[in-house]
Amino acid sequence: MNHTVAETIIETGQGGVGPRSAEAPAGAPRPAARWTRLVVVAGAVLAVLLLGAALGMSLQRGLGAAAQPEGGAVDVGFAQDMSVHHRQAVLMAGLARDRSADPAIRSIAFDIETSQLEQVGRMQGWLSLWNAAPVPTGRYMTWMTDPAMPGMTHGSGPGTAGVATMPGMASPADLERLRASGGTQFDVLFLQLMLRHHQGGVPMATYTAQHAETAQVRNLAEKIVISQGAESEYLAQLITQRGAQPLPPPS
Partner 1 sequence: MPSGKSSKAVRNARSVVTSTKPKPWGTVAAVLAVLVFAGGIFYYLFTRYEDRRAYTPTADNRDPSTQIEGVVTQDYGEANRGHVGPDKRVAYDHSPPFGGPHDATWAACNGEVYETAVRNENMVHALEHGAVWITYNPDNVTGPALQSLRDRVQGQNHLMLSPYPGLDSPISLQSWGHQLKLTDPADKRIDQFIQSLRLNQYTYPEIGASCDALTGVFDPAMPPPFVAEPPGPDAVPMNFAGGLDLEPGDGTTPPPGG
| Binder among 80, 83, 119, 199 for partner 1 (CB under 8 A) | 119
Cβ atoms of residues 235 and 109 within 8 Å: no
| Binder among 72, 73, 95, 110 for partner 1 (CB under 8 A) | 110
CA atoms of 4 and 197, how far apart (whole Å): 82
End-to-end CA distance of the chain: give it in Å, rounded: 83
Q: How many CA atoms lie within 13 A of 183 on its CB side?
A: 2
CA atoms of 153 and 166, how far apart (whole Å): 16
**Is 58 near partner 1 (CB under 8 A)?**
yes
| CB-nearer residue toward partner 1: 145 or 227 | 227
**Is 21 near partner 1 (CB under 8 A)?**
yes
Report how far apart, in Å, the C-alpha atoms of 228 and of each of 15, 152, 200 are. 88, 19, 10
| Binder among 73, 87, 122, 130 for partner 1 (CB under 8 A) | 122
| CB-nearer residue toward partner 1: 18 or 172 | 18
Non-local (6+) Cβ contacts of 163 within 8 A are 139, 140, 141, 156
Report how far apart, in Å, the C-alpha atoms of 97 and of each of 9, 15, 90, 91, 235 are. 86, 96, 10, 10, 15
The stretch near partner 1 (CB under 8 A) out of 154-162, 185-193, 204-212, 216-224 is 216-224
The stretch near partner 1 (CB under 8 A) out of 29-37, 143-151, 169-177, 199-207 is 29-37
**Is 130 near partner 1 (CB under 8 A)?**
no
| CB-nearer residue toward partner 1: 156 or 227 | 227
List contacts with partner 1 (CB under 8 A): 3, 5-6, 9-10, 12-14, 18, 20-21, 24, 30-33, 35-36, 39-40, 43-44, 46-48, 50-51, 53-54, 57-58, 97, 103-104, 106-108, 110-111, 114-119, 121-122, 215-216, 219-220, 223-224, 226-227, 229-230, 233-234, 236-237, 240
